[in-house]
Amino acid sequence: RSAILGSMTKRIARTLLALTTAVALLVPAAVFARDVSPPSPPADGELALVVDVIDGDTIRVERSDGSVERVRYIGIDTPEIGHAHDVPDEPFGRAATGVNEDLVADEIVLLERDISDRDPYDRLLRYVWAEDDAGWLMVNAELVALGLADVHAYEPDTRHHEWFEQLRLDAIEAGVGMYDTMPEAEPESRDLLEIIADLVGWD
């Protein structure tokens, strides 16, 4: 009997090891690496005046040469607002736009470029830094941290993607912004012991 129990224990251990390995391969590395340090404002950034906030991730700025440009925030995507009267807002679109306005409207901001200068719509692609009493903060990251922006790795402009992903995971754990209304996961129809029993061949 002890030999049978020993054999069953080894099979369960091997099965659990295989399950753990499979989960580790499926879960993004950012889940396990939660120690990405926040970046500092760039020394070579461009100062510009925000003259209009279009939505949560797009603004219009006046550059030092007097030209006015649209700026699209790199690495994030906020819910859309309906610019036409018959187009409804997406949930949290107005909230994201409001936070963006609070941070940058009529302010001097610091624009940080990654690899690309413009997107296909001729908008400048930038990380946007705003200054407050505590110093400079990156608006792209603040929107993610508040649960008001999703994170996307738009190649080749991915300098701060790992940091954004860490902030997104923190926002999900905290249940803030658009993550506070996420439905709970459906309960499993079978418990873990039943699954293990099937895997090791128990009846």
Active site residue 123: yes
| Catalytic residue from among 46, 62, 69, 80 | 80
Active site residue 72: yes
| Catalytic residue from among 72, 112, 165, 168 | 72
CA proximity to 128, closest of 112, 145, 152, 142: 112
**Using an 8 Å Cβ cutoff, are 97 and 105 in contact?**
no
Active site residue 159: no
Query: Residue 203 to residues 7, 15, 123, 188, 199: CA-CA distances in angstroms?
Result: 16, 16, 63, 20, 10
- Which residues, listed in sequence order, are joined to residue 109 by a DSSP beta bridge? 48
| Catalytic residue from among 112, 123, 126, 165 | 123
Give the whole-angstrom CA distance, residue 125 versus residue 104.
16
Which residues are known to be catalytic? Answer: 72, 80, 123
